[in-house]
């Protein structure tokens, strides 16, 4: 499943290809995605519109149009959005094709069809139902040590970081890595975290996500950028997947446990 760094990378690669371009027509395969597509909405709000911006909220892509309507896409488990020459062969499982002005097409392909392609009418994005329960952006000024400690409780710090209603886009690998770099044990209840530890966690989350964005995401899935380039480099994982291997900092064997149903790796010596 694509994670936040991959989506951010996709947003950045889409901008030069889409901004200033125009959507001419839209083709649908007729098969439903996570929610059925509503062709009338596309006809009404999308066709003939110039693309003004490409943004991200959590793992949703937002393509903003000249009429203030927006296309919202989520890649689900296996979705891929690409911009290719109109003559390029259409791959199996392509479900939506946007014809663009410069003889290019933006194509949405999704073998498992858990993704989402929706149109949000002008001025409705602020009330858009799918964004209503999303937490703060981890790379925004709102994600601070104070915020991290604002909701105390017995929940583990790792589960809190992975709670998308609290902070979006910190997937399992990133939560493991960030807590290793912060020197905080993933099983610690949130109420036991002090201010200095919270500062280190916030900084580590930002660093891990920024490093991944710089590298173009992880190679743990077959994500590709908008022009179909593989372009992805191995994320240097310090603790994730290193069960029983020596800790890179102290040599102690990395421990693996299951926490809230997810694989959790940590150094019992470095992470207090």
Which residues are near Zn ion by CB under 5 A? Answer: 247, 249-250, 252, 267, 269-270
**Catalytic residue (one of 113, 215, 262, 269):** 262
Instruction: State yes or no: is 3 an active-site residue.
Output: yes
Residue number with CB closer to Zn ion (122 or 246): 246
Catalytic residue among 5, 8, 59, 118: 59
4 vs 204, beta carbon nearer Zn ion:
204
C-alpha pair distances (Å), 141 with each of 69, 245, 259: 27, 36, 29
Q: Are 264 and 256 in contact (CB under 8 A)?
A: yes
Give yes or no: 207 in active site. no
- The single residue of 2, 5, 138, 186 carrying the catalytic annotation is 2
Distance CA 272, CA 200 (A): 13
Smallest gap from residue 205 Cβ to Zn ion (A): 19
Q: Least distance in Å: CB of 268 to Zn ion? A: 8
**Measuring CA to CA, how many Å separate 268 from each of 93, 187, 240, 250?**
45, 11, 14, 10
Active site (annotated) includes residue 92: no
Identify the bridge partners of residue 265 per DSSP, sorted by sequence position: 256
CB of 76 to Zn ion, least distance (A): 36
Identify which of residues 90 and 248 has a Cβ nearer to Zn ion in the complex: 248
**What's the rounded Cα separation, in Å, for the pair 124 and 51?**
17
Q: Which is nearer to Zn ion, 13 or 271 (CB)?
A: 271
Rounded to 10 deg, the angle between the 172-182 and 195-215 helix axes is 130
User: What is the closest distance, in whole angstroms, from the C-beta atom of residue 255 to Zn ion in the complex?
Assistant: 10
The set of catalytic residues is 2-3, 59, 262
């Amino acid at each position: 499943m694509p994670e936040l760094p991959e989506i951010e990378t996709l947003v950045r690669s889409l901008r030069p290809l889409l901004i200033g371009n125009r959507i001419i027509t839209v083709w649908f395969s007729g098969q439903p995605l996570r929610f059925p597509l509503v062709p009338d909405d596309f006809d009404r709000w999308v066709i003939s519109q110039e693309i003004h911006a490409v943004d991200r909220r959590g793992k949703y892509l937002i393509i903003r149009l000249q009429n203030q309507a927006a296309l919202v896409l989520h890649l689900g488990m296996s979705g891929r959005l690409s911009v290719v020459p109109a003559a390029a062969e259409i791959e199996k499982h392509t479900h939506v094709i946007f014809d663009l002005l410069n003889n290019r097409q933006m194509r949405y392909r999704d073998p498992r069809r858990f993704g989402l392609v929706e149109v949000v009418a002008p001025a409705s994005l602020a009330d858009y139902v799918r964004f209503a329960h999303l937490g703060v952006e981890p790379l925004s000024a709102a994600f601070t040590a104070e915020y991290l400690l604002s909701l105390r409780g017995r929940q583990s710090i790792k589960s809190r970081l992975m709670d998308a209603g609290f902070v979006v886009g910190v997937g399992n690998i990133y939560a493991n890595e960030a807590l290793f770099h912060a020197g905080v044990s993933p099983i610690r209840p949130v109420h036991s975290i002090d201010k200095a530890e919270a500062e280190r966690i916030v900084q580590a989350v930002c660093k891990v996500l920024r490093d991944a964005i710089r590298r173009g995401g992880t190679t743990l899935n077959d994500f590709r950028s908008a022009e179909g380039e593989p372009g992805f480099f191995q994320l240097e994982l310090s603790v994730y997947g290193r069960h029983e291997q020596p800790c890179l900092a102290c040599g102690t064997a990395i421990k693996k446990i299951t926490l809230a149903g997810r694989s959790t790796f940590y150094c019992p010596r470095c992470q207090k």
